[in-house]
Amino acid sequence: MSTNGFRDEELVTRRMKVGNEWQTRVFPVVGGRLRILHEGNDRLSIQTEIVKLDVDFVVVKAIVESQKGKFNGTGTASGQRDARLADSLVELAETRAIARALRFGGIGVEYTGAEEVSHVTAAAEGNDEQGVDKQPRGLISENNGDKPETNPQASAAAHRPKMQSCGNGKATTAQVRALFALSRKANYTDEDIQSLINPFNVSRFEDLPREAASQLIGYLQQEVAA
């Protein structure tokens, strides 16, 4: 068992592009956080609420109450970003919300949840010639964009180029400032920010298309208000 309380089987490693550098990061699955929560608390409560339910976009708020107090977390899922699980967007958003609430409650606070970055792994490693990883293959796609895939994860990779072409020009200075301010209010770490913008094939807020920046501002505003 690792020193942070997670078991080895509850941790996955992923390669992510941070700035211009590829780095290997560790992410715990939500099941590990839940196990630690149950083992360390005699009384606890987990409640979830659907904040927004559209055909292609879901926002769920989770409230975790333990002996330490009450902690909120918000999770989202979209058909474009999470095409592989398009039939389970509510469940995916709920899982992400619970993972964030548990993290804010002090369980693996230094780690972004594996469920929060599962949608970016294919995009990140698809451009890395040496991107070999240990996480379950069901979470990633190995399509490099040069030829069609026959595996069921190909649809997720097929959607990513569309996100890159949205909007006219790059994000405005005002949008970039808003994104930085909102991400700070939402207590986003650098890894959280990377997981948020990697689906658009950029590594900085400044490189986002204007339409994508507008979408993310709306999402972060919902997280801050939740």
pLDDT of residue 3: 47
* Digit-coded pLDDT (tens) for 141-173: 344 444 444 443 343 333 333 343 344 578 888
pLDDT of residue 226: 64
Mean pLDDT of 177-186: 87
Alpha-carbon gap, residue 140 to 84, rounded angstroms:
10
By percentage, how much of the chain surpasses pLDDT 70?
Answer: 76
Q: Residue 37: which of 92, 108, 93 has the closest Cα?
A: 108
- Retrieve residue 103's tokens: 């993290």
Q: How many CA atoms lie within 13 A of 95 on its CB side?
A: 18
- Per-residue pLDDT for 128 more than 70? no
* Digit-coded pLDDT (tens) for 28-57: 888 889 898 898 888 889 999 999 888 788
- Per-residue pLDDT for 120 more than 80? no
pLDDT of residue 164: 38
Q: Is the pTM of this model over 0.75?
A: no
- Give every CB contact of residue 130 below 8 A, 6+ residues apart in sequence: none
79, 118, 129 from 153: Cα distances, Å? 13, 12, 19
By percentage, how much of the chain surpasses pLDDT 90?
Answer: 14
Give me the phi and psi of 9, to 5 degrees please.
Answer: -75, -5
> Do 48 and 131 contact (CB within 8 A), yes or no?
no
Banded pLDDT at 118 (limits 50, 70, 90): low
Query: Mean pLDDT for the chain?
Result: 75
DSSP string over 56-116: SEEEEEEEEEETTEEEEEEEEEETTTTGGGGGGHHHHHHHHHHHHHHHHTTSSTTS--HHH
pLDDT of residue 134: 40
pLDDT of residue 129: 41
